[in-house]
Structure 1
Amino acid sequence: LLLATLLISVFFLPLAAVEKTLTLEEAIDLALKANPEILQAQQEIAAWRGLGLQLTSWPLPELSFSREGLNIGQKKGESEINLSLQQLVEFPGKRALRREVGGHGVEAASWRLEAKKRLVISQVKKAYYLVALSQETLAYYRSLVDFLNQSLRTAQLRYEAGEVPYLDILRLELEKLRLQNEIIMTEKDQEERWAELALLLGGEIKERREVVFDLKFQPLTRSLEDLLREAEGRPSLAALSQEVERIKAETELARKSLLPDFRLGLYYPSLRTSSWGFEIQTFLPLWRTQQKGATAEALARQKAAEISLEFQRKKIVSGITAVFNRVQSLERRLHLFQQTLLEEARSMLNLTITLYAQGKVGFLDLLEVYRLNRETRLAFLNTLFEHHLALAEIEVAGESE
């Protein structure tokens, strides 16, 4: 009876309470505030705003001073001082196009920030779930250690009573050593996974904490069509669309570079103070090789941006479809675990315990069923966490991390 109680308790042992915990919401909030990639994306927006100011700024006016009649080596004669002020004026429409280029650049950077936030949230979720998997696996292994310790004491009592051979005790000792080795490996995995999570959080948390995770299975409620429809509004696609519009504006600006700019000048002579001078200069577009080259380059980059946008759409559709199919497969396995496998393994364990107590099965049979229960439980945990990882991935499926 004691052995049966210990074996059954393996599946229901509660986790010990800890003082410091980290919820998934807290982890996401920290990452959005401190993740280096998000901070870099925010600076990219600021950089584009600064570039936008440069693109729309007026050329600096030119102030010149000249003196005529220096009479070098001759007797002093009449000389004149001229002051001039000149301003470059671009052909109408060029400055507006540069403003459009800067505006699309800011919009694209803003959408890239939103896309980066989604990627980071997905990365944080997956890292958090991996820490939780190590934590749950470690807790389960430790509960098995308690069971094996109690089983050893029970086996020793039964051996002293002449009911079981000493070989049963040796087998339990070996099983305990094997389990302790698995605990060491799981602790190592937990530390490595926590380090990955802490890095995503910007290094804001210096000490490891327990994560809070609900083992409840929650199936995906959205259909593939719903997911694909939602993906049409992804920030990454919006960013690429803005890039296409920006390059279109650059292409139009390159075409307008064939149109000449003007330089306006105003002159003031020192002797003929009433004879102000006015000048208009322009550039003759006789050689258009540079302008034609700039237009060809802009058109090529525009086509490349359009290809990139279309390819990204296809990648997202393919990625979502693949992850959705994986989720469906995992959910079928989880339903099988919950409906049959876990309960059957537990019933088999109870039956074997009873038969062992009655002397109808040997210790090896009991140990085999115990291992079957352990592997079934671990397989369920791994499948459950794979499902959570897939749900986190499907939100950014098809996008580079």
Structure 2
Amino acid sequence: MSKSSYRRHILSIGLVPFVGLGCASARTQLANMIMPAEATTQVVAVAEKPALERPTIELTSPSIEAVEKSTTSADQIEVVNFQSDPNEQTNTPKEPGKLPPAPPTSSSPTQTGLTLQALEEMAFQNNPSIQQANAVAAKASGIHYQVGRKPNPSIGYFGEEIGNEGAGGLHGAFVSQTFVRGNKLAWNEQVIGHDVESVRWQAEAQRQRVRTDIRIQFYEALAAQKRLELARDFRDIAEKGVDVSQQRVDALVGTRPDVLQSEIQLNEVELIIQEAEFDFESAWNQLAAIAGVPGMEAPTLAGELQPSDLERETDALYQQIVSQSPLISAAQARVHRAQANMQRQNVQAIPNVNGQLGVGRDDGTGDAFANIQLSLPIPYNNKNTGNISAAHAEYCEATQNVQRLKMQIRQNLAIALRDYQVAQANVQRYQSAILPKAQETLDLVQEAQVAGEFDFLRVLTARRAYFDANLNYVASLGNLATANARIEGLLLTGGLSNVVTYDGDDGLRGQALSGQ
């Protein structure tokens, strides 16, 4: 194999780790790959191997030797040497159109860092909206218990004809009780029981909102962290590019525009780093607020942005979300509540019976006596028709609310699926075409620059295009992860903006006891 062919293959492999985004070895290899483009290349200790179409080459991690300034000759600019090591693991060349497996990054799950699962558990314990929802459910349970309680009996004293003909009159004691008819109290429990069920489903919906928000913000923060790692890696390369361009000027083989363009590229990378830092800080602050720990210092996040090839079919997803959505379950509980309330109002006109039993003694005669009283209201002026009509209207409203929520799910699903499909298409395009072509372009431009066919500015342009492609790939992975989290979260978001409330009271019990 000729030295030029061998070097071309070395350069192709040298870019592989940088596609994996972020590890230290990738940063070193990319630096070593780019630097020969700015100076005369010296290849040492290269063993000739049989010519194969795709050879397997064993390499050590390349070392970066110091670049010594020269003011006389470009030949004195020192460059990187690639040396083979039989003890190093074999690197398999990439297949056409495919990216190599990404090496572990600094935020790999095998490394230390805050995981998504830990943040979810933290949010379930500390998010105030979840605690609020649990309190509302407890309130509904208390009212449910109260509306079914029977009325208390009453006891009292009575005295009559006191002083009549100088006698002490009639004295005694009584006990009275209201007997609720029509099974009203049991119907009360049925009605409010569906309220309890509805509130509990709403509390579950709030938990799902918090979970979805945590995942969305986690992936946004993780994507910002990945972009930050990538930009910091490239900053090292850009800094070396500035040094080499200045050395070329000193060696009388470069021009001042080369230096200026290198410095512009470095400053642009610094801006990208600053923007990524702001994005990560914002995403973390939102994440910490949802988790209920706003004062927690931003940690390193442990996780990966994995491409997703899941097929998202609209009708199947819609049916799945509708069947699993706690909001739909809560709305259906409201329908059952309205049905029970119609039955409850229909029995309201059945009058209660008020009974009283008294015993006493007549001081005038010394005789004992008993007194029994029974009374009930006559449903003549009020037959509860207004409440019956209102209960029917409530039932109609509850059924239409279920249909409204289903249409809302379909609408939101269309938006979420669009975001998912766009992000998935971007990720697949970057994987299959853009990143491999950006890598190949950079390889070819650098080889041509060494051969004197392209100027140094062309190399800077290719280098920046390669960096931008990787940066956009990370952004697309983040968009895909957040879109997928929204769909898997049943389209429920707003862990702090939505609250669970319950305005019910024990008015049904008062209505049942009054008999009116």
Q: TM-score, normalised by structure 2?
A: 0.72
- Overall identity of the aligned pairs, in %: 20
Whether 2:344 is the aligned partner of 1:253: answer yes
Please tell me the root mean square deviation across aligned C-alpha atoms, in Å. Answer: 2.5
Deviation at 1:329, TM superposition (A): 3.4
Deviation at 1:147, TM superposition (A): 0.8
Name the structure with the higher helix share: 1
Deviation at 1:224, TM superposition (A): 3.2
Deviation digits for residues 115-153 of structure 1 (CA, Å, limit 9, x no counterpart): 222221111110101111111111111111111111122
Counterparts of residues 59-74 of structure 1 (less than 5 Å): 59-71=151-163
Letter in structure 2 aligned against 1:280: L
- Identify the residue that residue 328 of structure 1 maps to in structure 2: 421
Whether 2:332 is the aligned partner of 1:241: answer yes
Whether 2:378 is the aligned partner of 1:284: answer yes
Whether 2:302 is the aligned partner of 1:212: answer yes
User: Is 1:67–1:81's contact at 8 Å kept on the other side of the alignment?
Assistant: yes
Deviation at 1:336, TM superposition (A): 1.5
User: Is 2:335–2:395's contact at 8 Å kept on the other side of the alignment?
Assistant: yes
Counterparts of residues 52-201 of structure 1 (less than 5 Å): 52-71=144-163, 76-201=166-291
What SS does the corresponding residue of 2:369 show, helix, strand or coil? coil
Deviation at 1:75, TM superposition (A): 7.8
Deviation at 1:221, TM superposition (A): 4.3
**Separation of aligned partners in 1, 2:107 and 2:422:** 34
Cα pair distance change 1:213/1:226, threshold 3 Å: same
Letter in structure 1 aligned against 2:355: L
What SS does the corresponding residue of 1:21 show, helix, strand or coil? coil
Deviation at 1:399, TM superposition (A): 4.8
- Identify the residue that residue 340 of structure 1 maps to in structure 2: 433
Cα pair distance change 1:7/1:150, threshold 3 Å: farther
User: Is 2:419–2:483's contact at 8 Å kept on the other side of the alignment?
Assistant: yes
- Identify the residue that residue 203 of structure 1 maps to in structure 2: 293
Letter in structure 1 aligned against 2:180: E
Deviation digits for residues 4-37 of structure 1 (CA, Å, limit 9, x no counterpart): 7999365454144798621111111212222111
Deviation digits for residues 70-123 of structure 1 (CA, Å, limit 9, x no counterpart): 43xx98422222322111121132111111112212211221122222221111
**Separation of aligned partners in 2, 1:188 and 1:46:** 41
Structure (1 or 2) with the larger CA radius of gyration: 2
User: Is 1:317–1:398's contact at 8 Å kept on the other side of the alignment?
Assistant: no
User: Is 1:266–1:276's contact at 8 Å kept on the other side of the alignment?
Assistant: yes
**Separation of aligned partners in 1, 2:246 and 2:468:** 26
Letter in structure 1 aligned against 2:251: A
Cα pair distance change 1:46/1:108, threshold 3 Å: same
Deviation at 1:236, TM superposition (A): 1.3
- Identify the residue that residue 364 of structure 1 maps to in structure 2: 457
Q: Which deviates more, 272-281 or 159-168?
A: 272-281
- Identify the residue that residue 131 of structure 2 maps to in structure 1: 39
User: Is 2:194–2:336's contact at 8 Å kept on the other side of the alignment?
Assistant: yes
Letter in structure 2 aligned against 1:293: G
What SS does the corresponding residue of 2:356 show, helix, strand or coil? strand
Letter in structure 2 aligned against 1:206: M
Deviation at 1:274, TM superposition (A): 4.5
Deviation digits for residues 278-316 of structure 1 (CA, Å, limit 9, x no counterpart): 221101112127x22222222222211111011111221
User: Is 1:355–1:361's contact at 8 Å kept on the other side of the alignment?
Assistant: yes
Cα pair distance change 1:178/1:232, threshold 3 Å: closer
- Identify the residue that residue 50 of structure 2 maps to in structure 1: none
User: Is 2:318–2:413's contact at 8 Å kept on the other side of the alignment?
Assistant: yes
Deviation digits for residues 48-76 of structure 1 (CA, Å, limit 9, x no counterpart): 110011111112222222222343xx984
Q: Which deviates more, 254-263 or 273-282?
A: 273-282
User: Is 1:265–1:278's contact at 8 Å kept on the other side of the alignment?
Assistant: yes
Letter in structure 1 aligned against 2:287: L
Whether 2:477 is the aligned partner of 1:384: answer yes
Q: Which deviates more, 36-45 or 166-175?
A: 166-175
Cα pair distance change 1:310/1:5, threshold 3 Å: closer
Q: Which deviates more, 256-265 or 266-275?
A: 266-275
User: Is 1:20–1:209's contact at 8 Å kept on the other side of the alignment?
Assistant: no
Aligned with 2:411 (options 302, 312, 318): 318
- Identify the residue that residue 468 of structure 2 maps to in structure 1: 375
User: Is 1:10–1:147's contact at 8 Å kept on the other side of the alignment?
Assistant: no
User: Is 1:30–1:204's contact at 8 Å kept on the other side of the alignment?
Assistant: no
- Identify the residue that residue 300 of structure 1 maps to in structure 2: 393
Alignment length (residue pairs):
396
Deviation at 1:266, TM superposition (A): 1.3
**Separation of aligned partners in 1, 2:205 and 2:367:** 64
**Separation of aligned partners in 1, 2:285 and 2:141:** 35
**Separation of aligned partners in 2, 1:204 and 1:279:** 66
**Separation of aligned partners in 1, 2:257 and 2:357:** 109
Q: TM-score, normalised by structure 1?
A: 0.91
